[in-house]
Chain A
Amino acid sequence: GAGVSQSPSNKVTEKGKDVELRCDPISGHTALYWYRQRLGQGLEFLIYFQGNSAPDKSGLPSDRFSAERTGESVSTLTIQRTQQEDSAVYLCASSSEVGVSTGELFFGEGSRLTVL
């Protein structure tokens, strides 16, 4: 498809396990964002990749969280030793170089993580 694709759409895991969430941005989009949306809360910025620049990791809540992006393609968000407070919908968005400055992000449907 032409949109941002995220997998898995749903993930249930046990406390203490590691999880990996994947995002396939729209082809050609240089910018990629990860946001977290906890139940009843707004979007919480996690990390921002823009082209070859160093990623802005200022939103990662702890060192258990990390993200990688290969060139201008797929990104993975990894959460180690998951905790119950990590339960949330993790949203990925991408944007073209023009779109970055015009604020037009294209969002995926999200990965819902439940930590038991």
Chain B
Amino acid sequence: AQRVTQPEKLLSVFKGAPVELKCNYSYSGSPELFWYVQYSRQRLQLLLRHISRESIKGFTADLNKGETSFHLKKPFAQEEDSAMYYCALTGVGSNYKLTFGKGTLLTVNP
């Protein structure tokens, strides 16, 4: 079975502060991890994937297989980062079914 856990339902930070959205996963095979974002009144969209090792909008995420974590980080939060963030997992063994966490609502205060 594959499972994604996002322990924080809500996260509030001030503009310019660092932000970390936590994600832990459970998967017996070789996982591929992603972060999706949903801005207010917009569709859910892919933010970044671990395999690309990219930084998108200043966000990065490192896959830690030892801790089975894939936390999303940004050193200086901006107001426009306020959104719902979902961590997601897939893999060969699941025929690439994408499983999402329950999401974390990030609010960046001015």
What is the count of residue pairs linking A and B with beta-carbon distances less than 8 angstroms?
A: 54
B107 is an interface residue with CB less than 8 A from chain A: no
B69 is an interface residue with CB less than 8 A from chain A: no
- Chain B residues whose CB sits within 8 angstroms of the CB of A93 once the complex forms: 44
Report the minimum CB–CB distance from A60 to chain B (whole Å).
13
Are B43 and A109 in contact (CB-based, < 8 A)? yes
Are A42 and B86 in contact (CB-based, < 8 A)? yes
Tell me the bound Cα distance from A3 to B44 in angstroms. Answer: 12
Are A45 and B97 in contact (CB-based, < 8 A)? yes
| Docked complex: A61-116 residues within 8 A CB-CB of B | 91, 93, 100-105, 107-109
Q: B41-52 toward A: CB 8 Å interface, digit per residue (1/0)?
A: 001111001010
A18 is an interface residue with CB less than 8 A from chain B: no
Interface size on A, residues (CB 8 A): 23
Report the minimum CB–CB distance from A28 to chain B (whole Å).
17
Report which residue of B49, B88, B95 has the largest number of chain A beta carbons within 10 angstroms of its beta carbon: B95
B101 to chain A: closest residue by CB: A42
Given A42-B103, A43-B100, A109-B43, decide whether A103 and B88 contact each other with a Cβ distance below 8 A: yes
Spell out A's residues near B (CB within 8 Å). 3, 31, 33, 35, 41-43, 45, 48, 50, 53, 56, 91, 93, 100-105, 107-109
Spell out B's residues near A (CB within 8 Å). 6, 32, 34, 36, 43-46, 49, 51, 86, 88, 90, 95-103
13 A–B pairs (Cβ distance < 8 Å), ordered by A: A3-B43, A33-B97, A35-B100, A42-B101, A43-B103, A45-B98, A45-B99, A48-B95, A56-B95, A101-B96, A103-B46, A103-B90, A105-B36
